[in-house]
Every structure is written in structure tokens, then in C-alpha cells.
Chain A
């Protein structure tokens, strides 16, 4: 079997992506899915095989191509039916964890570790128990017992007496099933059952997880009797009174609380078995208090719990307890592409990013983002993988997305070349800029520029881009403008600035570098909130900062990073400068910090194996 690794894999997956979308590329044949049509397909790599997750509204199939490229080798690993519309994310999670870490298989019950079998079940309408045989690396369904007439309300998997066990629960009964001979359906035996209503108060059966613990108590008891279960399940109240269901006498366990002794009688009378109650609901403010401990992404997901939760979470009060800390706090955002071709975004709290130790970051992985266009006033703009010209805005602070209308090109022979994202403070509007270039003849081309003002949803045509195409099409936003640096010829560079208020271009005059521009590379950045030029020769790197935007005389040389040996030379991309004059520089996936005051280099902790794409300084706002 061909092992798929590294670039090869990425390229192939990409090809397949195109295939799935456009049905034009024919590199990889897909399996015969059967009659159902999927609402979503996604690609994974399991066990070094290309895999497809085939999702319909009813179930999820996992297909694996065992022999890469061979259509015949597609096999369906398993099918997971859904319960409720949202559980598919969980199924993805199963699959992924299966690949990465088998121990994280949800609800995993390590059964007979010697035989290397793992079994998992899911809380679904039509119950399926999937067992993963680690020796064969194959999944199979474990057949379930005939539960009888009552449909089970919930099931849970356990291991009792070294056998796979199911606890099924219906309105009336609470059954414990044991599969004495693993894999044989006929070996299922009902160990015992009892009427739930007798001990309802003690077992809140609506939560099937609760059973797990309860039955562990059962398990520890040598004999399964109703009395003992009742006894053990209330044993958690060390100071409480236990009521035998059949013979309502009181028994006092390990009483440590003074008052409990005094009030034996009263407490006992209060512990008569109440009627089963619907789950307790909590008031909104308590729910808010609970949710504040969760990461914002989880909280945003929970909007789908109910409408009231959505409004609760969208509430500005809640918005204050946000993803990346408090408003005004500043982060450095670095974006990468990982080996699985996913877009990875890391946010580092700003001053800490320079440190050598204990740098905590927030990590986000986006499936559908191609790269970051830019960040401005608390909003990050991404380009998506969908089609060229599709953008999404993300406010990490409140965790909201906004998909923008597509920038469509009318011309056939053209390409998307320029991008920009900025904030027009006079109109208080964010603007996204996109440029499309097309050839006029074999020597010339023009670049049509369009601007989308947030809220208008129309890409408005503005004047064509007046200069040569910049090498880096991502514009640098500075004070209501977006700036590009292009090279006219080997020794002359031009900075073109687009005024977002007037939609007009202007050239920004450059400083006198004091040196011939041949054999140099220039980069445009924002450092310390000012437009900056990184002037890189083989021997040193100068950082110029324009303190007063638009005024040539305000350029000054902030500092020079000497390159005493060739080792540091490629670090030409200065990302940010700290208050105490340290500058973070990147080259490919490596990072280095240069301390201007002591003129020394140091290695920060943020090294990363993934391919570095871009960075931006991000300051939160609402």
C-alpha cells in the first residue's frame, strides 16, 4: 500500500477537493456511495489511507481507500446514524481521534485489553455499537440483545465482570445486560432488571452517564440486589440517611455532621422518595456564569441549543467575557499552514510573545480558510478556499463571522492579484479591497480595483491600480489607507496608498535610504502603528518608520539589525516590535528575537513546525 505523506498527500487532497467541487479533475475516483446523496463530503486521512466522510442528514459513512488510486479498494469502514441534527460533529471527532489517538475514542470502553478490542457506542435512536479491533484495525458492529418490547430510552456501555455490558433504561425498567462471550449475540444475558420507579429519586435516569457511576457501585457489590443499589447510590451522602426501597427503614452511614445526627428524623422524612422530575433548569445568569469558563468557540456552538441561549450568548454583557481577553488587549497573530493543508491561526498575547518561556497561545484551525487578508480594528479578514474572491470577516472577540458577497470577475483571462482590508474612520466603515488583473496584450495589463464597504454588499469599482503589481498583494492598512509596495525596476520601488475615504491613490514618498537600491529587498509593514519599511541587504536590515503618515520628512531610521554571520541573514521579515525595543523576526517556520538595546539575538519559544504564512498585530474591539 502506498504510504501517503508530506507534500504528495497535500497535493492529492487538493486535487480531490477540486474534483469534489467541480467534477472536472479526475485524479481520484470516489466510491459508490449507494443511493443516498450526501449533503457534505469531507476528506480525512485515516491509517495512512485517503478517507471520505460521507454525511447525509441521517448518517455518516466513513469510506477508506485502502489502496491509493485504486477505486476498487474503497471500503466503508462504518456507518454512524445520527441522533439530532448536530451530532455529526461528534462523529467527525470519533474518526479523527481514531486516527490520532485511539484512547480518545468517545465513550470508549477498553474491553479485554489483551485482545486489543475497543468498543464504542453512541447515544442514538437506533443504537449501534461499534467495536474497533486494534489487531485487525477494522470496525464491526456488535449485535445487541433483543431488549424486548420496551424501546430503550437510553443505553450505556460498561464492562462488568470482564464482559461487555449494556445498561438499558426504559420508562419502567432498568436492565443490565452482559455479553458473556464477546462477539456472540446469543451470549447476551439479562443480568437483572428492576422497576425504576422504586428508586427513581436516587437515580436520575435522564442522564445516562449517571448510570455509569451508579452501576459501578453495583459492580463493586458482590450481589446485585435492589437494596444494595439503593444503599450504594445514596452512599455519596456520607451524612445522609439511606432509605431501603422495599423496607423503608432508616440507616445512617458514617455520620460526621453534627446536625445530621440531631435531625435524623426530620432529614429522613424529607428523604422520602420524590416523584421523578424533569431536569432542573437554571436561570440565565447562572448559565452565563457557567459558560464564562468555556472557550468562546464552544460558547458560540452552544447558540444552537435554543433560541433563548442564542440571545443569551449574543447579549453584550456576555460579549464582554470574550475569546481573547479584554478589549484593547493586544495580540500578535501568526498564521500557518500545517501538514494537513489546514489554515492554522495562533494568537499570542502581545508583550509575552517575545519571551523564551511560558508563552501561552490560542490556537485555531480553520478548514475553509485559505489565508489571512489582514486585520484592522478588531476584525480579521480571511480569504476562503471556496472560490477566488470570497472573503469572510471574523471578529475573534465576539466569535462572529460574516461572509461577504463574492468579488466576481467578468473577464476570462484574469487573476486576483491585490487584496486589502482597512477601516475608514471618517465613515466608520470597514472596507475590503480586491484587485483583478488581466492582460491587455502580451506586454501590458491593467488591474481593476473594487471596494466593498461593509454593510453595502456591493463591490464598487474604483480607479485602476496605478502602479506595477506588487510582489505581495496584501495591502498594509495604516490610518484609513491601504498601502502596497511595488517594484518598478530593480532599483526603484514605489509605495501606492489608497485613501479609503476618497477611494483615490497617492504615492507615499520614501526616505533617503542612503544606499543604492540594487540588491536590496524592501518590505512594507506596520510597526508601532506606523507605516514601516524593512530595508534588507545581505549584511544588515534597516527598519524605517514613518511617524507622521504621508509626510516624507517624518521617516526615520528606527534601528539597524546587523547580520554578523550568514545564519541570521534570512530573517528579513520583522513582525512586531515590543515596548522595550525587541523585534520579532521570522523566516519560514523559524522565529528570532533581536534585542535592539543589547544588540543580541535570542530564540523565542514560539517556534513552530508549520509553514508560516503571515502575521498581524491584532487589537481587540467590539
Chain B
């Protein structure tokens, strides 16, 4: 049983790798894939990077022809500016010469240049594209942002309306406040 599930899991990867190899052979330069964002901007992206996107892999599994042909792979939920950022991130993290410190510096700068809305937009895009590394990086970063903030900040951050009535809120606080636990 375990073997079976394993093989089905690795299969898409294999096909993706094969596709990638094919591309390498058929083209002299590094092959590129055409991606089209939701705002109808087409990007030519190095296959090595594009294949890191789960959404692209999936698309190529269903229609392998797209890799070689001129048809653009549609990314319905990603706008061009998000894709630019995602590509920037992956180019940096793919860069062979990038040391750990460079990457850290880059990550910090990358975050600093994003406002909260952009951060959330990027997270949605990363989720859609199924890019694990960036996704984890973003969720962790957002968690760090809200880590030491109060509830009101979190509400504003996520655009959530407080649907507790004042009575409920008081009751809830009563219920939870008894211990006054400080987690250090």
C-alpha cells in the first residue's frame, strides 16, 4: 500500500522532470515557458523556475504540448506585479552564488518592500501557484508581524469585523482571563 501511494506521488514529478529534460535537449539556450497572468501579461520564464510552480507542473501534466508550443500557460489568479515579485524571489533563491547571508538580507529587503495588502496578495498568489518555499516564507512572515500585536491589529490586518457583542466579548474575556498567563 505504502509503495503504491509513493509511486503515484512521485509520478507527476517524474513527468515534470522528463518534460524538463526534453526541453533542455530540444533547445540550445535554457528553455523558457510562456506564462500569462490574470491581467493578460505574458511572461517568458526560465523553465527551471517555472517548473517550481506546482500550478505550472499541473498544467503541463494535463496538456504537455504547452511546454514546447507558443501557447501561454494561464495563471488565472496571479496578477503581473505579483508574478514579478515571485520571480524575483525565486531567481534570488535559485542563484547558485547566493550565500546564506545574501538570502537572508534579500528576504528582509523583500519583506520590507511589501505593505500588508501586498503581502496578502502575494500569499494568495503563492498559494494558487503552489510554490512551497515562498508560501512558507510568507506565512511565517505574516505570523511574525502579528505575533506581538493585539487583537484589534489582527482584525484590521485581516480585514475582519468583530462580530462579538460587547457582552459576549466580556464573557469571553472573563472565561479566558482568569489565569493571566504570560507566555514567554
Task: Report A's interface with B, CB cutoff 8 A.
Answer: 83-87, 89-90, 123, 204, 206-207, 209-210, 213, 236-240, 256-260, 262-263, 266-267, 270-271, 278-282, 286-287, 289-298, 300-309, 362-369, 384, 392, 394, 401, 403
Q: Give the Cβ gap from A169 to chain B, nearest Cβ, in Å.
A: 13
Question: Can you show 21 pairs from A to B with CB atoms below 8 A apart?
Answer: A84-B150, A85-B170, A86-B152, A87-B152, A207-B116, A210-B116, A259-B42, A266-B40, A266-B80, A271-B81, A279-B117, A280-B117, A280-B159, A294-B146, A303-B172, A305-B160, A365-B182, A366-B180, A368-B179, A401-B175, A401-B176
Given contacts A239-B84, A278-B159, A306-B160, contact A392 B178 (CB under 8 A): yes
Q: A617: shortest Cβ distance to chain B, in Å? A: 21
In the complex the two chains form, what is the Cα distance from A303 to B166 in whole Å?
15
- In the complex formed, the residue of B with least CB distance to A241 is B81
Contact yes or no, A257 B183, CB < 8 A: no
- A90, A204, A281, A368: the one contacting B180 at CB < 8 Å is A368
Per-residue contact bits, chain B 56-91, to A (CB 8 Å; 1 contact, 0 not): 000000000000000000000001110011011000
Contact B157 A207, beta carbon cutoff 8 Å: yes
Q: Which 10 A-B pairs have the closest CB atoms?
A: A279-B159, A367-B180, A236-B113, A293-B143, A297-B183, A259-B43, A365-B182, A86-B151, A84-B152, A363-B184
Q: Is B156 an interface residue (CB 8 A)?
A: yes
Q: How many Å lie between the Cα of A298 and that of B176 in the bound state?
A: 12
Residue contact B147 to A306, C-beta cutoff 8 Å = no
Interface residues in B102-146 (C-beta closer than 8 Å to A): 112-117, 120-121, 123-124, 127, 135, 139-140, 142-144, 146
Would you call B80 and A270 a contact (CB within 8 A)? yes
Determine whether B162 belongs to the interface, using a CB cutoff of 8 Å to chain A: yes
A207 to B149, CA, bound (A): 13
Residue among B80, B147, B152 with max Cβ neighbours from chain A (10 Å): B152
Known: A85-B170, A213-B115, A301-B151. 14 other contacts (CB 8 A): A204-B116, A207-B117, A237-B113, A270-B41, A271-B81, A280-B120, A282-B158, A304-B164, A305-B155, A364-B181, A364-B183, A366-B179, A368-B178, A394-B179
Residues in A whose Cβ lies below 8 Å from that of B164: 304, 306-307
> Considering only CB atoms, which chain B residue lies closest to A401 in the complex?
B179
Q: Which residue of B lies closest to A402 (CB)?
A: B175
Nearest-CB residue, chain B, relative to A269 = B39
A256 to B106, CA, bound (A): 15
Question: What is the CA–CA distance of A266 and B162 in the complex, to the nearest angstrom?
Answer: 40
CB <8 Å contact, A266 and B41: yes
Chain B residue contacts of A394, Cβ below 8 A: 179
